[in-house]
Amino acid sequence: MQFGLFDIMQVLPDVPSGQAYAEHLRAVEVADQLGLDYYFVAERHYMPHYRTPTPSVWLGALAARTTRIRLGTLAYTIPLHNPARLAEEVSMLDHLSRGRMEVGVGLGHRPEELVALGIDPNRRQLLMMEGIVLMQRAWRGEPFDHPGTAYRFHGLYVDPPVQRPHPPLWYAGNDPMAAQWCANNGLSLAVGFQPADQLLGPCAVYRATLKKQPEPKPSQRLALMRHLYIAENDAAADEEMTRDVMAAGEAFAASPRQIAQVQKTRMTRGEARQAVARLKERQVVIGGGPETCARVIAETARTLMLDVFLANPWLTSVEPERVERTIRLFATEVAPRVKEMV
């Protein structure tokens, strides 16, 4: 098992971007120092609750401030990018990070982002598939032409990345057909934000398809993304999460688009306790002391046959000090216990 962080850079609209970047940068530095394996960030556009519209810029800053943690996206929205230019960005980042890049690719789960730039969402699968092929060709480090369907380029040359033939590729999604495609094409798969029983299908398809490959890539991994909140013990975690839910409602672990609506209504302590119990029961959040969190992660890892667990500790109304505490306990107490149990 390997362990890391997944960050959608979700903040409340009144939080200055500079403050958000400083807080998240500090958290990733801590994760790097403590030996976590991965840090992934999402790409999001045109919403005030998200602050990573250009993840390559963000990863460049992280590359300069970290030394060992692997850095990546989950995922670049490929239809929004010129794939030749994105191949250059990734190669440059791989050099700046000394070979630590991981590259997530995706269709874009919000068609509004494509429409805003005049891109037909119906073409996004073609744009993504051809874009991936083009980037892999570009990373060979040889001049080439690309007379494709979606893209037509002539005389391209991209400085090859440190990792050859290219940095590991990932896809984030819960669809079984996508899982099969990932396994057949050398990509790792990240699933998440649904209960484990709903994720059994894509995970089983991914594992079964890998077994049929004559030579599966050693870099192919199956990862789970989950919200995570850790305190010194279960009672402390429940009390703190209850206070957070009273302040933020179920936006504590909700989509940013739901925050404004949920925050209009404040909960009583009893309602907040029930909400925390629902969030844990639905497996939206894994919360508790180190022993409880390790047990839940290990059970889920065995059920879904995971290689990697990616924690999102950036929950609404949780200040940076508690985010850092979760990361420290995750790295020093939870991850070692999980390794022993799986």
pLDDT in tens, 287-308: 999 999 999 999 999 999 999 9
**Quick one: pLDDT at residue 258?**
52
pLDDT in tens, 182-205: 999 999 999 998 999 999 999 999
pLDDT at 26 over 70: yes
Report how far residue 222's alpha carbon sits from residue 312's, in angstroms, rounded to the nearest whole number.
17
Please report, to the nearest 10 degrees, the dihedral formed by the alpha carbons of residues 260, 175, 102, 6 taken in order. Answer: 30
Tokens describing residue 131:
């874009």
H-helix or E-strand spanning residue 322: helix 320-329
Fold of 2-74+169-218+220-341: TIM Barrel (3.20.20)
Q: Are strands 152-156 and 169-172 parallel, antiparallel or unpaired?
A: unpaired
- Asked if residue 75 has a cis previous peptide bond (ω within 30° of 0), the answer is yes
pLDDT in tens, 158-170: 999 999 999 999 9
Q: Where are the domains of the chain?
A: 2-74+169-218+220-341
pLDDT at 224 over 80: yes
pLDDT at 256 over 60: no
Q: How many CB atoms lie within 10 A of CB 14?
A: 6
| Average pLDDT of the residues in 224-249 | 95
* Structural contact between residues 108 and 72, judged by C-beta atoms closer than 8 angstroms: no
* Structural contact between residues 338 and 297, judged by C-beta atoms closer than 8 angstroms: yes
The average confidence (pLDDT) of the chain is: 93
Q: Which residues contact 143 (CB under 8 A, 6 or more apart)?
A: 155, 156, 157
**Quick one: pLDDT at residue 250?**
65
The string of DSSP codes covering 114-141 is HHHTT--GGGHHHHHHHHHHHHHHHTT-
pLDDT at 41 over 60: yes
